[in-house]
Amino acid sequence: MPVIKYSRIRDPLFYEWDRKAQKCGLRHTIYAVNGDQYTGEWLDNLKHGKGTQIWKNTGAIYSGDWKFGKRDGYGSYSIPDPVTKEYKRVYTGLWENDQRGGRGVFFYPNGECYEGEWSDGLRSGWGKMQYKDGSVYEGQWLVDQPDGQGVLRLPNGNRYEGCWKDGKKHGPGKYFYLDKGQKLEGIWVADIPKCGVLVDFGRDNALAPTKCPLPEIELHDPAGVLAEARAMFDDSHN
């Protein structure tokens, strides 16, 4: 009896090609249509795990953690110097949903540096900012501005300790004029001291003390005066 052989049913070739094209696990460099390139781990065709991305237009490099196609976790972002072409680090720290989120260090082009917490790519939380003029602010931030409790130290040694809002001194605070040996304790509104008490403070060690010491003001309850001023400030801003 003759043996009948049936042809083997095979899937179309494009199914096999599509399967081989799926990116999953560790892969060599993959080039995008626009020239960007990525080397690292994949999951279901998305960058996921450890990997390095290079953007062709800017030359920027990100190396670190990825999660479902976005920078997420710990990573470092650098850009080339337009003159020397050497890479300069811009940010190193935590990322969340493709933006700076968590704790990290950011280096600005003018030499300034921020080290602290981020949220949605903005300085938010507790952080320390070193400015180009030598000033240093350390304290709370909100939406990229000092907001809350913080200390600003100036290059001459003077400092402000107190409340901030929208990047300005706002609320109860103390300003130490160490160069003159004086201290102002009072209430600020939008960087302007509205009321307070100015007294000598460390006058003997001051670099440029005033010609005459401040006269002592006899107040029955100086702490109570400032407390009353703070209460009036709070009431006006509630």
For residues 144 and 123, is the Cβ–Cβ distance under 8 A?
yes
Q: What is the pLDDT of residues 78-100, one digit of tens each?
A: 999 988 989 999 999 999 999 99
**Does 217 score more than 80 pLDDT?**
no
pLDDT score recorded for residue 155: 95
Give CA torsion, residues 137, 140, 199, 193, to 10 deg: 100
At 97, the amino acid letter reads N
Per-residue pLDDT, 179: 84
Task: Read off the pLDDT of residues 102-137 as tens digits, 9 standing for 90 and up.
Answer: 999 999 999 999 999 999 999 999 999 999 999 999
- Which single residue is written with the structure tokens 């993959």? 30
Apex CA 46: angle with CA 41 and CA 48, to 5°?
Answer: 40
Helix (H) or strand (E) holding 33: none
pLDDT at 19: 52
Planar angle of CA 89, 95, 100, nearest 5 degrees:
70
Average pLDDT over residues 1-6: 55
Round to whole Å and give the CA distance between 39 and 43. Answer: 13
- Give the per-residue pLDDT at 15: 45
Give the pLDDT mean for 140-145.
98
pLDDT at 227: 63
Cβ pair 164, 140 in contact under 8 A: yes
Q: Which string of b and e fits 7-29 if b means at least 16 CB within 10 Å?
A: eeeeeeeeeeeeeeeeeeeeeee
